[in-house]
Amino acid sequence: MTTSPIADPHAPTSTAPAGHTSEVRIRRAGPMDAELVDTMVREIARHEDSLEHVVAEPEDWRRMLARDDVQVLIATDGVQALGYASTTRRLNLWLAQDVLALDDLYVRESARNRGIGRELMLAVARLAAPDGLTVVWGARLDNDSAHRFYRRLGARLHTKVVAAWDPEGYAWVGADEAESPLGAA
Amino acid sequence: MTTSPIADPHAPTSTAPAGHTSEVRIRRAGPMDAELVDTMVREIARHEDSLEHVVAEPEDWRRMLARDDVQVLIATDGVQALGYASTTRRLNLWLAQDVLALDDLYVRESARNRGIGRELMLAVARLAAPDGLTVVWGARLDNDSAHRFYRRLGARLHTKVVAAWDPEGYAWVGADEAESPLGAA
């Protein structure tokens, strides 16, 4: 979550000319799309000034895109990729059910203002609908236009604190172990 | 995330008398602990005024506690349960690696101010350490003492917007489908 910001989709279809989205198709990415997905992930990461958080390489994507719990949707105009939405399906303990976590929503700069972000979100909803899954994701605090976009789609938004505890952050715990009652447990 | 708030652990060990935590043991919950976990989850949910978000029943916990990717840690004094930390292991796409998601951290009211929240967090770090996993979780925006507690442990905190899109929220998407270019895809 903390490493997967949502780019501003800039995609209010209400103002887009009707004919503009007619050529857009959305399809599920497979292992063959590893390089394409890798390229677009690095584009969104660069756009969000977060490139240092991307560890995944094409070989990782080849493996991840073959998993049932990973679904990446690619928007294309038949010639080139226009953007993508990446999702993972995961267990929520309180619900005792899976939720669909939206990791990235990205529309390439040249393809913005054509409603493609909205089409990708509708496709995500259609992934979630058969099992009645709640879709969950995070957005940057300062991205007001994205917040409005998500609310218009019917999502509920909350502000909260998210924490990340890296191995470097908890490295001291091991050293502490000897003195802890857990050390003898 | 939105349905699993972290209760204020009220657990700065730095002020706790040394002998106070010596009797605390932390163990991993198994399917036999389903009723106990269910009871404590409902306690934290009631404490957070979120009981309506708890769907899991003991039978669900029996199933979930048998999963490898679900690890719930229970703090006990040998007589009764004092609190718990629930975690799920899940894939992070940018990292191409699992992270350990901390769902709940809860210390029962009668057991607070004894460093038990801290002991549970250290035990979570020890779960994450062998594979070098980042631990991630959410906290309420207004829980300053929890934020300080997490920062002291070495976690990085950020404020962000989290979104949840329920089936009721995207129900209109199906109706829209016939007119959408996706309908014909």
Q: Where are the domains of chain A?
A: 13-160
Measure the CA–CA gap between B78 and A42, rounded to whole angstroms. 51
Measure the CA–CA gap between B106 and B117, rounded to whole angstroms. 7
Task: Answer yes or no: do A160 and B166 touch at CB < 8 A.
Answer: no
Task: Answer yes or no: do B173 and A134 touch at CB < 8 A.
Answer: no
| % chain A with pLDDT above 70 | 82
Q: For residue A168, what pLDDT is reported?
A: 97
Q: For residue B23, what pLDDT is reported?
A: 85
Q: Closest approach of chain A CAs to the CA of B26, in angstroms?
A: 7
Q: For residue B174, what pLDDT is reported?
A: 80
Q: For residue A159, what pLDDT is reported?
A: 97
Task: Answer yes or no: do A181 and B156 touch at CB < 8 A.
Answer: no
Looking at CATH, the fold of the domain delimited by B13-157 is given as Aminopeptidase (3.40.630)
Q: For residue B19, what pLDDT is reported?
A: 45
| % chain B with pLDDT above 70 | 82
Task: Answer yes or no: do B94 and A88 touch at CB < 8 A.
Answer: no
B24 contact residues in A (CB cutoff 8 A): 181
Q: What average pLDDT does the segment B9-27 reach?
A: 57
Residue A154 has pLDDT above 60, yes or no: yes
* Parallel, antiparallel or unpaired: strands A25-28 and A70-76: antiparallel
Q: Closest approach of chain B CAs to the CA of A30, in angstroms?
A: 14
Looking at CATH, the fold of the domain delimited by A13-160 is given as Aminopeptidase (3.40.630)
What is the SS3 assignment for B102? strand
Q: For residue A23, what pLDDT is reported?
A: 85
Q: Closest approach of chain B CAs to the CA of A60, in angstroms?
A: 6
Q: What angle do CA B126, A99, A157 make, to 5 degrees?
A: 100
Residue A147 has pLDDT above 60, yes or no: yes
Of residues B64 and B6, which shows the higher confidence score? B64
Q: For residue B176, what pLDDT is reported?
A: 54
Q: What average pLDDT does the segment B28-41 reach?
A: 98
Q: What average pLDDT does the segment B94-106 reach?
A: 98
Of residues A21 and A175, which shows the higher confidence score? A175
Cα A66 to chain centroid distance, Å, stands at 17
Range of lowest pLDDT (A1-10, B58-67, B116-125, B142-151): A1-10
Measure the CA–CA gap between B92 and B97, rounded to whole angstroms. 6
- CA nearest B28 in A: which residue? A185
Task: Answer yes or no: do B167 and A129 touch at CB < 8 A.
Answer: yes
pLDDT tier at A174 (50, 70, 90 boundaries)? confident
Q: For residue B51, what pLDDT is reported?
A: 97
- CA nearest B167 in A: which residue? A132
**Closest residue to B53, CB basis, from A94, A129, A138:** A94
Q: What average pLDDT does the segment B121-134 reach?
A: 98
Of residues B18 and A44, which shows the higher confidence score? A44
- Tell me the sheet residues that pair with B70: B88
Q: Closest approach of chain A CAs to the CA of B181, in angstroms?
A: 6
Per-chain mean pLDDT for chain B: 87
B88 contact residues in A (CB cutoff 8 A): 90-91, 93
Q: For residue A175, what pLDDT is reported?
A: 61
Residue A130 has pLDDT above 90, yes or no: yes
Helix, strand counts (H, E) of chain A: 5, 6
Task: Answer yes or no: do B160 and A162 touch at CB < 8 A.
Answer: yes
A168 contact residues in B (CB cutoff 8 A): 154
Closest CA to A131 of A81, A180, A71: A71
Angstrom distances, CA of residue A157 to CA of A66, A118, B1, B5, B52: 31, 17, 12, 15, 18
A174 contact residues in B (CB cutoff 8 A): 126, 129
- Tell me the sheet residues that pair with A180: none
pLDDT tier at B173 (50, 70, 90 boundaries)? very high
**Closest residue to B55, CB basis, from A45, A94, A153:** A94
Per-chain mean pLDDT for chain A: 87
**Closest residue to B157, CB basis, from A1, A26, A163:** A163
A144 contact residues in B (CB cutoff 8 A): none
Task: Answer yes or no: do A96 and B57 touch at CB < 8 A.
Answer: yes
Range of lowest pLDDT (A22-26, B5-9, B33-37, B80-84): B5-9
| % chain A with pLDDT above 90 | 81
**DSSP-derived secondary structure letter, A79:** S
Task: Answer yes or no: do B88 and A93 touch at CB < 8 A.
Answer: yes
Residue B16 has pLDDT above 80, yes or no: no
Are B86 and B51 spatial neighbours (Cβ–Cβ below 8 Å)? no
